[in-house]
Amino acid sequence: MKKLVMSIALAGALLVAPTVSEATVKMGDRGASVTELQQTLASKGHNSASNVDGVFGPMTLRSVQSYQRSTGISSPAGNFFGVAGPATLSSLGLSSSGSSTSTASSSTSSSTSKSTAVAGTSTTSSNSGVISTARSLVGSPYVWGGTSPRGFDCSGFIQYAFAQNGKSIPRTVSQMWSAGSSVSSPSTGDLVFFETRSGPSHAGIYIGGNQFIHSGSSTGVTISSLSNPYWSKTYMGAKRL
């Protein structure tokens, strides 16, 4: 009888024992789990230390893929290539509970609720979110007329970064120039404009430290300096939307 009771108890324990969570950290996620993932990948040489912002964008996707290829966890032919699931998280020594990660379509308050400082310049929570989104898209290709991470033109990139943070702005560079309020010197989150052809024809988002992020026709989404001879020569001014 004792053996029967023990067998029943053991079977019950097995039935209620917690299983490994199937939570994943994937493209579009934000939060502490993404930050932890980015930091761990950076410590293993698969991510840039500058790409630790709590936003799972294209750069983090490539970092995860690089790690998965190097460890044999997944490959371009795999169904979960670029998704940090239980196997990837466990290999990195991270918890796979994933309870602190939220999707980009849900609230972005965790990444935008605090003001941040970029090169000594304070930003509002709204601008902080725009900058965070813009940085997560570095490396996206340039596509004429493009308005998504698959490819952006310069104004499509700016409009997308603002739209992801709840702000609707005009579509074209000339419309943005007309809609904005001129400022004598840009603050983080302002738009900077350039006359690469006649009139305002290129624009980017100022991120502080005399730098701006933009989608260049030969570079895709990248960070450039206003001190660069080409950009300083064509610079028209800054506007605030």
Q: Are residues 114 and 229 in the same domain?
A: yes
Q: Which residues share a beta bridge with 118?
A: 121
Q: Are residues 88 and 34 in the same domain?
A: yes
Q: Which residues share a beta bridge with 182?
A: 239
Q: Are residues 46 and 150 in the same domain?
A: no
Residue 197 has pLDDT above 60, yes or no: yes
Handedness of CA 170, 175, 178, 183 (dihedral sign): positive
Domain boundary among 77, 103, 129: 103
Q: Are residues 147 and 67 in the same domain?
A: no
Told to judge if 154 belongs to the known catalytic residues of this protein, a careful annotator would answer: yes
- Regarding pTM above 0.75, the answer is no
- Sequential DSSP letters for the chain: -HHHHHHHHHHHHHHHSPPPP---B-TTEEEHHHHHHHHHHHHTTSS-TT--SSB--HHHHHHHHHHHHHHTS--TTSTTTT-B-HHHHHHTT--S--TTEEETTS--HHHHSS--EETTEE--HHHHHHHHHHHHTTTPPB-TT-EETTEE-HHHHHHHHHHTTT----SSHHHHHHHSEEESS--TT-EEEE-SSSSS-EEEEEEETTEEEEEETTTEEEEEETTSHHHHHHEEEEEE-
Told to judge if 46 belongs to the known catalytic residues of this protein, a careful annotator would answer: no
Please state, in angstroms and rounded to a whole number, the distance separating the CA atoms of residues 101 and 164. Answer: 17
Residue 115 covered by a domain: yes
- Given 94, 134, 154, 192, the catalytic residue: 154
**Each residue of 36-95: pLDDT tens digit?**
888 889 888 888 877 888 887 888 888 888 888 888 888 776 657 788 888 888 888 886
Q: Are residues 98 and 73 in the same domain?
A: yes
Please state, in angstroms and rounded to a whole number, the distance separating the CA atoms of residues 6 and 199. Answer: 83
Q: Are residues 97 and 115 in the same domain?
A: no
At residue 104 the predicted structure's pLDDT band, cuts being 50, 70 and 90, is: very low
Residue 46 covered by a domain: yes
Mean pLDDT of 131-135: 94
The four Cα atoms 205, 215, 224, 219 give a dihedral, to 10 degrees, of 170
Residue 57 covered by a domain: yes
Residue 56 is predicted with a pLDDT of: 79
Residue 210 has pLDDT above 50, yes or no: yes
Residue 95 is predicted with a pLDDT of: 63
Residue 224 has pLDDT above 60, yes or no: yes
Please state, in angstroms and rounded to a whole number, the distance separating the CA atoms of residues 162 and 179. Answer: 14
CATH number for the domain that contains residue 198: 3.90.1720.10
The answer to whether the CB of 53 falls within 8 A of the CB of 33 is no
Q: Using DSSP bridges, classify how beta strands 101-103 and 29-31 pair: parallel, antiparallel or unpaired.
A: antiparallel
- Given 30, 135, 202, 239, the catalytic residue: 202
Among the ranges 10-19, 65-74, 148-157, which has the highest mean pLDDT value?
148-157
Residue 39 is predicted with a pLDDT of: 86
Rounded (10°) angle between helices 154-163 and 125-136: 130
Domain boundary among 47, 81, 103: 103
Residue 68 is predicted with a pLDDT of: 83
Q: Are residues 82 and 132 in the same domain?
A: no
Domain count, the chain: 2
- Given 149, 214, 231, 237, the catalytic residue: 214
Domain residues for 183?
110-240
The answer to whether the CB of 127 falls within 8 A of the CB of 189 is yes
Told to judge if 202 belongs to the known catalytic residues of this protein, a careful annotator would answer: yes
Q: Are residues 126 and 185 in the same domain?
A: yes
Mean pLDDT of 109-124: 36
Residue 115 is predicted with a pLDDT of: 34
At residue 122 the predicted structure's pLDDT band, cuts being 50, 70 and 90, is: very low
Residue 131 is predicted with a pLDDT of: 94
